Structure 1
């Protein structure tokens, strides 16, 4: 018997006061038609009212997939908990959900994406919650903001510090969803789901288990329905025993601004020459310098921003395949995509479900992470999650806190300050006009990454900008390299709110970084793995 119903019928199943968990990653895997139906039902009937929604990764974007904005309505939403949120340029109208958050209309929280998936897993197993060190001494910590995004949220904490076996941990109570909304490509008549056109599996299975094991319902949005028994068992990612209802959206986009690209879902492999390499500019200089931090044979995580171009640097330098890229949505290997398709990869080796990718990150199984920064503090802390004067430009932390919690090596990249007018002339950096906003500040507004904890754990932390390279040490941030053409005092020391330590062997950055020709990049080989001496983490 088919489980197919209409979106309107599915929306009518959601009771007032329900906790609803939504699987998505911006435009990737977003069950947009289902969210639209919920918003339309509320507009016409006033129901469902006062629901709480859970979003391990953002639902919707600023480019045609509205996602959570369909349900960002007074009376419909009571509370929202997200690993991340839709974001956009400062010139754009803020998403409706951001307007509700900044106007303090509903309590809003930013729990790291990996912990969001952990919460679902614990709820599925009927365990009390998540005990973790991920997030200690960041905005996640109850000693700071405790994940609260506004004043209303601060009044109702979702995390607390606890002592266990003589050590401090963060404790997140399990949250049980009554309704889970996931997305796939194909459902058969029994509700078995396959993901052949999807760019990632995300966390639909874990979310579905959390609802099913606690008496809730699971609604799946798909592109098509096929006959019972026609799907290969090995292809089924969410079995029909966990799926109660199926709605169909034949026009669902694969990801933001992409109706369907078989290379994103691993059905074909693109020729390497089809990938665009970065144009020569300041951002490319930074990405090249970041690439020099890598080792051949490493598994390296990538974040959004300048660092997302590093795989293209290796491609251009003839080193594609020397590093395995891993991104939080689940792709392993291949070429991570840019811009609106970030979170997807073409020519991937494998796709892991996001919850397991985050387990890999939280336990530091990978070798290095390449991430961005908005602010760097005196103590080495980094902010990527909040700017009060432009809140909707940031998406929250996403998986940033999970990834950086124990990462062995992190390379943060970004512009030294905001708004500077820069040029490259004859292989030298020319600063034509200084920026108005300093990004090296005495204290970051939001601690997304704790410099103090990094020192305690012995993490290897590097900051790469267009005008210098810096390292975090127990004594402070040390300036190790300076760009050719840059005046140390005027362009670096005077542009920081705190004093930098100047390395005794201060070097000039490789001049090849500042030329249009390839830099002749070579990567040292990663040392062979040996069995580690401790096993308790």
Structure 2
């Protein structure tokens, strides 16, 4: 199977309206800015994709990346843990205007729901959120005298992730904290699209260093000098 594509535009070309899209990153660390911006470019040119459900740790910062997607009107719903992080004006404006929905998920629960989907586990129990509004309508169970909330796995149609090194077979490594949600999302999506700073031939990565095996990756594109979200926000870049 051919997994390597030459441009970020080609990598995101098939994502349709209404798709559920996981986007890697913890704040700006590990965020696939170039893939996100390619998706925005396509929307501006064609009006698609729209009505997306985006799954991420937060709801974007400044006027780039996920925040720019929200500002453009591409996102119908956010599933995240921290919608009101610093510089989250794009989400705040849309939410207060009733133009975007929010599913708030505790951070550990978010990670475990994604991991569960990748592992084929349809549901699990967690004490997080018990007795709060986030648990309303969800089944609860008592184990060893403590109450737990049942949470369902969280799948996606597509995952956009960022790696450090990759090869033509789709094997990936990550740089430092850039690992975060990216490996989990690669396993939980029906189709995973990865951008990497360094793309090599099969065998160029020591097998012991592979974090995400190529079986979980459908498409890889090389972005030799990826942009960093925090730098763009500090510089006041508007995408």
Fold-level similarity (TM above 0.5): yes
Cα 1:44/1:254, change in 2 over 3 Å? closer
The structural deviation recorded for 1:235 is 1.4
The structural deviation recorded for 1:45 is 1.0
* C-alpha distance in 2 between matches for 1:207 and 1:133: 23
TM, length-normalised to structure 1: 0.40
Q: 5 Å matches for 1:117-196?
A: 117-142=111-136, 160-164=138-142, 168-195=147-174
Local SS of the residue matching 2:156? coil
Local SS of the residue matching 1:130? strand
Local SS of the residue matching 1:256? helix
* C-alpha distance in 1 between matches for 2:223 and 2:84: 22
The match for 1:233 is: 207
String of CA shifts for 1:380-424, please: whole Å, max 9, x gaps: xxxxxxxxxxxxxxxxxxxxxxxxxxxxxxxxxxxxxxxxxxxxx
Q: 5 Å matches for 1:431-510?
A: none
Cα 1:190/1:205, change in 2 over 3 Å? same
- Would you say the 8 A contact 1:30–1:59 is kept in 2? no
- Would you say the 8 A contact 1:199–1:254 is kept in 2? no
Local SS of the residue matching 1:219? strand
The match for 1:393 is: none
String of CA shifts for 1:145-185, please: whole Å, max 9, x gaps: xxxxxxxxxxxxxx624235686422222232110111111
String of CA shifts for 1:312-365, please: whole Å, max 9, x gaps: xxxxxxxxxxxxxxxxxxxxxxxxxxxx9xxxxxxxxxxxxxxxxxxxxxxxxx
* C-alpha distance in 2 between matches for 1:74 and 1:257: 21
Cα 1:59/1:96, change in 2 over 3 Å? closer
The match for 2:237 is: none
Q: 5 Å matches for 1:269-288?
A: none
* C-alpha distance in 2 between matches for 1:160 and 1:192: 37
* C-alpha distance in 2 between matches for 1:187 and 1:208: 13
Cα 1:250/1:139, change in 2 over 3 Å? farther
* C-alpha distance in 2 between matches for 1:208 and 1:240: 10
* C-alpha distance in 2 between matches for 1:180 and 1:34: 11
Local SS of the residue matching 2:150? strand
The match for 1:246 is: 220
- Equivalenced residue count is 231
**Structure 1 counterpart of 2:76, from 75, 78, 86:** 78
- Would you say the 8 A contact 2:163–2:197 is kept in 1? yes
Q: CA RMSD in A?
A: 2.5
String of CA shifts for 1:271-323, please: whole Å, max 9, x gaps: xxxxxxxxxxxxxxxxxxxxxxxxxxxxxxxxxxxxxxxxxxxxxxxxxxxxx
The match for 2:29 is: 28
The structural deviation recorded for 1:15 is 1.8
Structure having greater relative contact order (Cα 8 Å, sep ≥ 6): 2
- Would you say the 8 A contact 1:79–1:107 is kept in 2? yes
TM, length-normalised to structure 2: 0.85
* C-alpha distance in 1 between matches for 2:201 and 2:79: 37
The structural deviation recorded for 1:256 is 2.6
- Would you say the 8 A contact 1:23–1:59 is kept in 2? no
String of CA shifts for 1:102-138, please: whole Å, max 9, x gaps: 2221211221111111111222233332321112234
After TM superposition, the runs of 4+ consecutive aligned structure 1 residues lying more than 6 A away are none
String of CA shifts for 1:415-439, please: whole Å, max 9, x gaps: xxxxxxxxxxxxxxxxxxxxxxxxx
- Would you say the 8 A contact 2:4–2:219 is kept in 1? yes
Q: 5 Å matches for 1:89-488?
A: 94-142=88-136, 160-164=138-142, 168-195=147-174, 197-211=175-189, 216-253=190-227, 256-257=230-231
* C-alpha distance in 2 between matches for 1:199 and 1:59: 19
Q: Report which of the two structures shows the higher radius of gyration computed on alpha carbons.
A: 1
* Higher helix residue share: 2
Local SS of the residue matching 2:177? coil
